[in-house]
Amino acid sequence: VVSNYAGTTMEPKRAGCRIQGCHCEVIDTPGLHCLSIHSAEELSIRDLIFSERPDVIVQCVDANQLKQSLTLTADLVGLGVPMVVSLNAIDETARKGIWIDSEELSRILGIPVIETIATQGRGISDLKKAIAHPQVSTLKLQYPEPIENTILELTALMTKPDTYARKMASLLAMGDPFIEQQVIAIEGEQSVSKMRARIANLHLQYKGNVAAAIGAVRSRWVDEVAGTVIKHQKVHQGQFAEAFGHLCLHPVFGIPILFFFLALTYFLVVYVAGALQENLNLYLAQPVTGWIASLIPAGFFHELIVGADYGLLTLGLFNAVCTVLPILSVFFLMFGALEDMGYVPSLCVLTKRIFDRIGLNGNAAMSVVLGFGCKTMATLTTVGLPRKEQLIAVYLISAYVPCSAKMAMSMGVLGRYTFWALIFTYGIVFTMAVLSGLIMNRFLPDMTSGFFVQELPVIRWPNPRAVIVKTYYRLYWFFKEALPVFLGAALVMFFMHRTGLLGVIEVALQPLVVGGLGMPLDTVEAMILCLARPEAAAGFLIKMADSGNLNVAQSILAVLLTTMFVPCLASTVAMCKRLGWGMGFIMVGAMCLSAGVVLVLVHWILLLFVG
């Protein structure tokens, strides 16, 4: 899964393939800016490079950001590992009148530099050939004499042969806080003690910041290389993408653009997905259910498999395939197009002022926005944030940010009525998120807050093939994980109904559900399904809405319940792992309490104004 913004890849992915007749394991890692570590995520990537000892490193460079990428290139070639550079998106630089001399860049680096347009598959065959015959760079940056001498001394103290020796020595000289443990694991404590003495002497002799001096040498080299290989031409080109990107960030025009995308998504989910649902039910679910029903005599197994309420086919399989699948397909296509366009970081910047108010001044803002894709992955991105920002971000993601699947299903439920029902519902969710953030920002102890640094990508037209492939994988992963849950939930509901346990639970919750919230008693079943999988509950609610068992006010309450109630199991586990199990359980309790209070208040507001 790829998107047009940084941070899409959250953890290393592995796959096997054959390149030029050789079996290879390809490891796709999250991005790095350099090997000098500034966060826990970057440390994990560097640890992987140092521990896995790859045979070949392929650096994927965005041609639009070549100068920024050369800093990492300088670090990677210093490892002494065979390398290839993939210079990607050269079609975009050409349209901007920017020409990059890849042959000269290859000569300077001493490694193959392959021009590619990955979205079109151009240059991939040349890249494979280069990977089969990589080269070790002969480039060696020279630092000021005291630093260079110390690096040589540290390298000499490393008794075990290591291709990374010079890079490790330079990181030690810079005072990298994490590299020492890796050197101890290789060389032992005694050797590292001698290295510490050499480093201490360097800091006494060298007047100036060692890390800054090394960084200055690297920056001068980057400037020289960029000035040599990057040429600008005067061309006439369309400015629509650039102008649209600025409008998306504008505090006035950005809001209408956001509402346009929301309205377009709503239209597609309600009308296009709605038409797909009708046809799947008409031409798939009803004929298959009727045919199987005719084969099974009335009784236990008939009710178990094709029962109208809790059958494995009706509530399980066809609820997933005919109700949930069309909505998720359409929504994932739209969301994937926005990702490929590069709109998501613009949304993050657009809402920066609100994030500032609730104490999310740094990269936590991006984590919250990523929650609209997947809560679990968004929660994992909060690692390395200051504790206060991490607590606020994780709570908001878990309690109030609807993931793509939840948002799609919410549109499917409320789309049975009116667009304004959706606006009203998510207006309440937004208000609660802001209030919760303000309260947590006010009462949580002050801690060091991060700076807001957001890399804005170039706005691009979505690539249809990439969007379709991404949607396919997301649907595949959804059904691989969710379909057994749908079937299992249907089986549990069936036996709860047969044993009378469901009736007992409904009687116990009737004062809250019917009296307190004004919901039909069948909503208890949706609440039980929500614990297993929110999408299963949403599919059940859509059927209730279609059959007339939910009015618009009750549908609003039902969507608020599935949105603000306890998140899915994967998200809950990720939250507990990130914050600790004790804090995780406290947050789960807070979510349940706040959701109950909000639902009761909204019920009485709707009762007063809607009836």
Express each pLDDT in 259-278 by its tens digit: 898 889 888 888 898 899 88
Contact (Cβ atoms closer than 8 angstroms) between residue 557 and residue 517 = yes
Tokens of 160: 């075990």
Give the residue carrying structure tokens 């670090």: 75
Helix (H) or strand (E) holding 130: helix 124-132
Contact (Cβ atoms closer than 8 angstroms) between residue 494 and residue 304 = yes
According to DSSP H, which parts of 14-56 are helical? 40-52
Taking alpha carbons only, the member of 161, 162, 169, 166 closest to residue 192 is 169
What is the Cα–Cα distance from 10 to 7, expressed in whole angstroms?
6
* Per-residue pLDDT, 40: 67
* Per-residue pLDDT, 73: 94
* Per-residue pLDDT, 124: 92
Express each pLDDT in 328-384 by its tens digit: 899 889 988 988 888 888 877 777 777 777 777 656 777 787 778 778 777 877 776
Most confident of 105-109, 237-241, 547-551, 598-602: 105-109
* Per-residue pLDDT, 184: 79
* Per-residue pLDDT, 384: 66
Q: Please tell me which residue, 468 or 376, carries the higher pLDDT value.
A: 468
Output phi, psi for 58, to 5 deg.
Answer: -110, 115
What is the Cα–Cα distance from 342 to 455, expressed in whole angstroms?
11
Tokens of 147: 């630093």
Helix axes 210-229, 66-77, angle to 10 degrees: 120
Helix axes 569-579, 581-609, angle to 10 degrees: 130
Q: If you average pLDDT over residues 295-320, what whole number do you get?
A: 87
Q: Which residues pair with 14 in a beta bridge?
A: 27
Dihedral (Cα; 285, 286, 292, 296), 10-degree rounding: 130
Q: Among positive and negative, which fits the CA dihedral 346, 474, 465, 113? A: positive
Is the pLDDT at 193 greater than 90, yes or no?
Answer: no
What is the Cα–Cα distance from 55 to 392, expressed in whole angstroms?
42
* Per-residue pLDDT, 552: 87
Is the pLDDT at 232 greater than 60, yes or no?
Answer: yes
Taking alpha carbons only, the member of 342, 331, 341 closest to residue 463 is 341
pTM: 0.76
* Per-residue pLDDT, 418: 82
Pairing of strands 113-116, 83-88: parallel
* Per-residue pLDDT, 316: 86
- Please give the radius of gyration of the chain, using alpha carbons only, rounded to the nearest integer: 28
Pairing of strands 13-19, 22-28: antiparallel
Per-position b or e across 31-68, b if 16+ CB within 10 A of its CB = bbbbbbbeeebbbebbeebbeeebebbbbbbbbbebee
Express each pLDDT in 476-521 by its tens digit: 988 888 888 888 888 988 898 889 898 898 888 888 888 878 888 8
Is the pLDDT at 113 greater than 60, yes or no?
Answer: yes
- Name the pLDDT band for 104 (thresholds 50, 70, 90): very high
State whether residue 85 is helix, strand or coil: strand
Phi-psi map region of 374: left, alpha, beta (phi>0 left; psi -120 to 50 alpha): beta
* Beta strands across the sheet bearing 113-116: 57-62, 83-88, 113-116
Residue 389, exposed/middle/buried by CB under 10 A (0-12, 13-18, 19+)?
buried
Is the pLDDT at 281 greater than 60, yes or no?
Answer: yes
Is the pLDDT at 524 greater than 60, yes or no?
Answer: yes
What is the Cα–Cα distance from 395 to 214, expressed in whole angstroms?
40
Taking alpha carbons only, the member of 523, 535, 543, 547 closest to residue 599 is 523
Separation of first and last alpha carbons in the chain: 46
Express each pLDDT in 145-182 by its tens digit: 888 888 888 888 887 766 688 888 888 888 887 888 77
Express each pLDDT in 201-231 by its tens digit: 888 877 778 888 888 999 999 999 999 999 8
Q: Which residues pair with 84 in a beta bridge?
A: 58
Contact (Cβ atoms closer than 8 angstroms) between residue 407 and residue 335 = no
Taking alpha carbons only, the member of 422, 400, 403 closest to residue 412 is 422
- Name the pLDDT band for 551 (thresholds 50, 70, 90): confident
Q: If you average pLDDT over residues 69-78, what whole number do you get?
A: 92
* Per-residue pLDDT, 57: 95
Express each pLDDT in 48-58 by its tens digit: 888 888 999 99
Residues 6+ apart with CB under 8 A from 607: 518, 553
* Per-residue pLDDT, 413: 84
